[in-house]
Amino acid sequence: MIKITTRTMMGLAVATSLAMPAPVMAQSMDELMAGAQAEGRLSTIALPHSWCNYGEVIAGFKAKYPFLEITELNPDAGSADELEAVRANKGNTGPQAPDVLDIGLSFGPAAQSEGLLQPYKVSTWDTIPDDAKDADGNWYGDYYGVMSFAVNTDLVENVPTSFEDLLKPEYAGMVALAGDPRASNQAILGVMAAGMARGAEPGAASAEAGLQFFKELNEAGNFVPVIGKAGTLAQGTTPIVIQWDYNALSTRDSLAGNPPVEVVVPSDAVLAGVYVQAISAYAPNPNAAKLWMEYLYSDEGQLGWLKGYCHPIRFNDMVARGVIPQELMDALPPAEAYEAAAFPSIDAVNANADGVKAGWDTVVGAAVVE
């Protein structure tokens, strides 16, 4: 079992606080409820229901706060798309302006530095590891997983166990990323994992090595420039998808053996990735946004993610208090697969992201499409 501990997460160095408004501490639930009721709505973005069990999480929130109308914007958007939606709707008070964000680790400090976030500290703030959150509450870790391969074993006879395996001729026209590496955090870190598999240190070096790997994969005819998801995996368009383990496991469960799916944590790179939550600085419904955060960081919300195979950020605290049902603990992948998990520093994640986004078109030259 992998657990977030101070030592495990030391790589997640918190960005230096900028000149931002003073952080807003957790308000009373009565105040939040009254404010949210007056607003009457909440707009989320980039939350596919199969991702981290968000379908059940959203349903739980709706059941708890039925007075809020929820608008789910662009469920398949990437982290960069989320920030662009905030920029594009700065003066918009309608439902098309996102109130809350769920973004890759590198995008939190970037959005903070651009003034796109407003600080807020949930009531369970102290149980979130210090090095997985901004000290002033602009962004805060929510869950993590490791990069894996989802493999349609109806079409793939020999299941690959490493990134280097993916270069073999038998995987021609089979391998895809689960996003556009110029915009999707999941895809960008898929490139990082490939670079790390070749011995590169996380950061600019992993971007360079990862881009070279995908150049070779593309030239070999093995790379499919289509965003991999459950449908493309099942249909055979992308029989092998490089994606977070929780997404791969959710796909396996949703397909229920038709076709059978095997989920593999590659032996040559076990890359862990943290996602963070934040509230838009221009949120039309700030009280509803805070209420959403309170729900996500409650035991109920955290267990919702765990049901979707995501390790919630408050995992250690909940284990210590004995509030995680044994059946959820038993459903997690074997601990051995996670023992070598690497948590790159935020500087390394940012350097890798910059290198991948800048170099994908010129080095790999494969435009990834839906």
Tell whether the model's pLDDT for residue 16 goes beyond 80. Answer: no
Q: How confident is the model at residue 13 (pLDDT cuts 50, 70, 90)?
A: very low
pLDDT exceeding 70 applies to what percent of the chain? 92
Domain tally, the chain = 2
On whether both 151 and 258 belong to a single domain, the answer is yes
Residue 73 domain-assigned (yes or no): yes
CATH code for the domain in which residue 254 is found: 3.40.190.10
| Of 84-98, 114-128, 325-339, minimum mean pLDDT range | 325-339
Tell whether the model's pLDDT for residue 17 goes beyond 50. Answer: no
Q: Which domain holds residue 155?
A: 145-270+346-364
On whether both 216 and 297 belong to a single domain, the answer is no
Map the chain to HEC letters: CCCCCCCCCCCCCCCCCCCCCCCCCCCCHHHHHHHHHHHCEEEEECCCCCHHHHHHHHHHHHHHCCCCEEEEECCCCCHHHHHHHHHHCCCCCCCCCCCEEEEECCHHHHHHHCCCEECCCCCCHHHCCHHHECCCCCCEEEEEEEEEEEEECCCCCCCCCCCHHHHCHHHCCCEEECCCCCCCHHHHHHHHHHHHHCCCCCCHHHHHHHHHHHHHHHHCCCECCECCCHHHHHHCCCCEEEEEHHHHHHHHHHHCCCCCEEEECCCCCCEEEEEEEEEECCCCCHHHHHHHHHHHCCHHHHHHHHHCCCEECCHHHHHHCCCCCHHHHHHCCCHHHHCCCECCCHHHHHHHHHHHHHHHHHHHCCCCEC
On whether both 82 and 126 belong to a single domain, the answer is yes
Residue 8 domain-assigned (yes or no): no
On whether both 224 and 359 belong to a single domain, the answer is yes
Query: pLDDT at position 24, please?
Result: 52
User: Taking the model in full, what pTM does it have?
Assistant: 0.80
Residue 173 domain-assigned (yes or no): yes
On whether both 288 and 333 belong to a single domain, the answer is yes
Q: How confident is the model at residue 310 (pLDDT cuts 50, 70, 90)?
A: very high
On whether both 359 and 231 belong to a single domain, the answer is yes
On whether both 301 and 350 belong to a single domain, the answer is no
On whether both 353 and 282 belong to a single domain, the answer is no
Q: How confident is the model at residue 337 (pLDDT cuts 50, 70, 90)?
A: confident
Query: pLDDT at position 21, please?
Result: 39
On whether both 324 and 358 belong to a single domain, the answer is no
Tell whether the model's pLDDT for residue 262 goes beyond 50. Answer: yes
